[in-house]
Structure 1
Amino acid sequence: MQMTFRWFGEGNDSITLKQIRQIPGVKGIVWALHDVPAGEVWSAERIEEVVNQAKAQGLNTDVVESVNIHEDIKLGLNTRDQYIHAYKETLRNLRKFGVKVVCYNFMPIFDWFRTDLFKETEDGSTALFFDAEKVISLTPEKVVNNMEENSNDLTLPGWEPERLKDLKNLFDQYKDVTEEHLLENLIYFLEEVCPTAEQCGIKLAIHPDDPPFSIFGLPRIVKNKNDIKRILNAVDSPSNGLTFCSGSLGGNPNNDLVDIVRSYASRIPFAHIRNVKHFEDGSFIETSHRDEDGSVPMTGIVNALYESGFDGYARPDHGRHIWDEMCRPGYGLYDRALGAMYLQGAWDTNVLLKNESIKKRQIQNN
C-alpha cells in the first residue's frame, strides 16, 4: 500500500507540500488542475508546474483526482465526442509525467453531498454530516448556496461555480435520464477512452456515488457491489478500475465493504479509506479513522486489502476539523494525518503477523 495525501494546489489549499512531506509514510500527493473546466485539455505546461512543485518536496504525483467528465458525456449528447477527444489528450499529457492512476466520477451535475459541512460533535470537533430528514426539505439551489457560504473561500471540487451556473437547465436535461441511460453513457465513454488509457499505462478508477443513493431524483450508478460488477464487466480492460471509497459506499450500511474489497481487489488501483457513523434514520456523520468511532470496519478493510495483495495507492479521506484548524471542509491537515498513521499502523500489523508466521514455520522446518 502506497500512502498518499490529497492536495488542492497553491493558493487553493490551507496545507503546504512541506507539511504533507512531514507525515510519516506519505510518499505522494493526489492532485488535479482544479481551475481547468471539465471538458478542456490539461496542458503539459500546467501539469509540469504541479509535478515540479511536488518533486521539490520529494513527493510523487502518480495519482490524479479528478479529471472531471463533461456533463455532455454523462447526458450522451451529440457533442460528447469532442469532450472525449479532449479527455484522451489530457491522458496523453499526463503520461509524459508518469501519472499511473486517474480517479474520476460519473455523478450527474455535482458529486459528493452533505447537509452540514461543520457539524459539531461530542468532543467539540466538527465534521461533514448528512441529515436524511433535512434532505427532504432541501432544494438544489439551497444546497449550492449552503456550499458556497461554508467553503472558507476555497473551491470545493464537484461544486465549482462554473459547473453550477445553470442549475435549473441541468436538472431539466436529466429529467428523463434513467440509471440505465446513464450506465450506457458511461460504457460508451469507457469503450472510447480505455484503449488510450492502456496505451498510456494509466488506470482509470471510477469513484462510487457519494452518498450511494439517489438525491434530488438524479440517477446514481455506482452505489453497491452489483453496480460495480456491471461496470467492471462491461468493459474488460486493465484500465477500467475502481476507486474503493469506504466512506462513500459506507453511507449505505447494507454495503458489505470487506466483501467488495475481496471481490474486486485486482481492479482497485486506488483506495479512499475513512469512517462514518450511521444513525437509525439514515443520517450519517464522518468520524475519526478509528474502528471504534464509526460504523465502517476500518481494520477489516485494511486486512482485506493486505490479504488480497493490494499494492496500489491509498489515502486517508475526509477528516474532522480538530484543534481549531481553519481549513477546507473535510480536508484539514491534522485529522487526516492521524488517519494516515492509523491506516499504516493497521497495515504494519499485517506485515508483522506475516513475518512472525514465516519465522515460526522456518523454526519448525529446522
Structure 2
Amino acid sequence: MKMVFRWYGEGNDSVTLDQIKQIPGVEGIVWALHDIPTGKEWTMEKILEVKKQADEYGLNIKVVESVNVHEDIKLGLPTRDQYIENYKRTIEKLAKVGVKVICYNFMPVFDWIRTDLHKELEDGSTALFYEKDKVDNMDPMELVEEITKNPDFTMPGWEPERLEHLSNLFDAYQNVTEEDLWNNLQYFLKQIIPVAEINDIKMAIHPDDPPWPVFGLPRIITNKENIKRLLNLVDNPYNCVTLCSGSLGANPDNNVAEMVREFADRIPFAHIRNVKIYENGDFIETSHRITDGSVDIYDIVKAYHENGFTGYARPDHGRHIWGEECRPGYGLYDRALGIMYLWGIWDALVRSEQGGTSC
C-alpha cells in the first residue's frame, strides 16, 4: 500500500507540502489543475509547475484527482468528441511526468453532495453531514442560492462554471435515463482506455456520493453489481475503480470489504474513510476508528492486505478538529490521524503474517 494525500495546490489549500511530508509513510500528493475549466486540455506548463513543487519535498505526483469529465460527454451530445480528444491529450501529457492513476467520476451535474459542511459531533468536532429528508424534498436551485449568498458553503469537486448553468443542465438531463448514462460512459471508455493503456495510466472511476439518485438525476456507480458492469463495459486492466469506502459505505447494503476482495486486481486507488449511518438515512463523516462509524475499516484494510495491495491509498475526508480552519473535509489533523490508524492496522496485519516477528 502506497499512502498519498490530497492537495489542492499553493494558495488553494490550508495544508502545505512541508506538513504533508511530515506525515509518516506518505509518498505523494493527489492533485489536479483546478483552475482549468472542465473539458479543456491541460497545459504542460502547469503540469510541470506542480511536479516541481512536489519534487522539492520528495513527493510524487502519480495520482491525479480529477481530470473531470465534461457534461456533454455524460449527456452524449455531438460535441462530446472534441472534449474526449482533449481528455486523450491530457492523458498523454500526464504520462510524461509519471502519472499512473487518474481518478474521475461520471456523476451528472453534481459531484458529492452534503447538506451541512460543519455538523457538530458529540466530541465538539465538526464534519460533513447528509440529511436525507432535506435532499429528498429540496429544490436543487435552493442549494445554488445558498452557495451564491454564502461563500463559505463550497464543496470541493464542484466547478463554478457548472453552477452558473445549473438550470440548463437540469433541463438537459430531464430525459436521460440510467441506461443512457451507461451507454455514454461506455462510449467514453472505448475511446479513452486504449490511450490510457498505451500511456500506462489506469483510469479509476470514483463511486457516486451518495450512492443513490439525487434530485431525479441518474447515478450508476453505486454498488457491487454496477461496479462489475462498469468493469465489463471495456474489459481491460486499465479500466478500473477508485474504491471509496465512505461513498459506498453510506448505503448499509454495500459490503465494501467484499468488493475489495472481488475487484482487488482492478483497484489501483483506494479512498478509506468512515461514516456513521442513522436509521432515517442520514449520515455523517467520522474518524476512521471502527467504533465511531458504521463501516468496518479493519476488514477493508484486511481485505487489501490479503490481496497484496500495492496501489495508492488516501484517508479521504476528515473531521475538522482542534480549531483548524480548512476546506470542508480536507484539513490536516484528522486526515493525518486517519493515516496513522490505517498504518496501525496494516502494520499489525504484517506482524501477524510474519508470526510476530518485527515489521
Same fold, TM-score > 0.5, yes or no: yes
Q: Is residue 2:21 matched to residue 1:21?
A: yes
Is the Cα contact below 8 Å between 1:131 and 1:284 reproduced in 2? yes
Matched to 1:301, the amino acid is I
Query: Distance between the aligned counterparts of 2:52 and 2:145, measured in 1?
Result: 36
1:147 Cα deviation (Å)? Answer: 4.2
In structure 2, list runs of 5 or more residues that go unmatched.
none
Partner of 1:116: 116
Is the Cα contact below 8 Å between 1:31 and 1:61 reproduced in 2? yes
* 265-274 vs 133-142, which moves further: 133-142
Is the Cα contact below 8 Å between 1:34 and 1:157 reproduced in 2? no
Query: Distance between the aligned counterparts of 2:222 and 2:151, measured in 1?
Result: 26
Distance 1:198 1:179, change over 3 A: same
Partner of 1:281: 280
1:218 Cα deviation (Å)? Answer: 0.2
Distance 1:229 1:113, change over 3 A: same
Q: Is residue 2:195 matched to residue 1:199?
A: no
1:152 Cα deviation (Å)? Answer: 3.9
Q: Is residue 2:85 matched to residue 1:85?
A: yes
Q: Is residue 2:227 matched to residue 1:222?
A: no
Query: Distance between the aligned counterparts of 1:189 and 1:331, measured in 2?
Result: 30
Partner of 1:213: 212
Partner of 2:170: 171
The percent identity for this pair of structures is 64
Partner of 2:135: 135
Is the Cα contact below 8 Å between 1:64 and 1:103 reproduced in 2? yes
1:317 Cα deviation (Å)? Answer: 1.0
1:158 Cα deviation (Å)? Answer: 2.6
Q: Map residues 296-335 of structure 1 onto 2, 5 A cutoff.
A: 296-335=295-334
Deviations 1:153-193 (A, max 9, x none): 8x743322112111111000000000000010001000000
Partner of 2:65: 65
Partner of 2:271: 272
Deviations 1:65-110 (A, max 9, x none): 0000000000000010000000000000001100000000000011
1:358 Cα deviation (Å)? Answer: 8.5
Query: Distance between the aligned counterparts of 1:5 and 1:166, measured in 2?
Result: 32
- What TM-score comes out, normalization by structure 2 length? 0.97
Deviations 1:54-75 (A, max 9, x none): 0101100000000000000000
Query: Distance between the aligned counterparts of 1:128 and 1:149, measured in 2?
Result: 20
Is the Cα contact below 8 Å between 2:136 and 2:214 reproduced in 1? no
Q: Is residue 2:39 matched to residue 1:39?
A: yes
Partner of 1:350: 349
Query: Distance between the aligned counterparts of 1:34 and 1:258, measured in 2?
Result: 32
Query: Distance between the aligned counterparts of 1:146 and 1:255, measured in 2?
Result: 32
Q: Is residue 2:170 matched to residue 1:162?
A: no
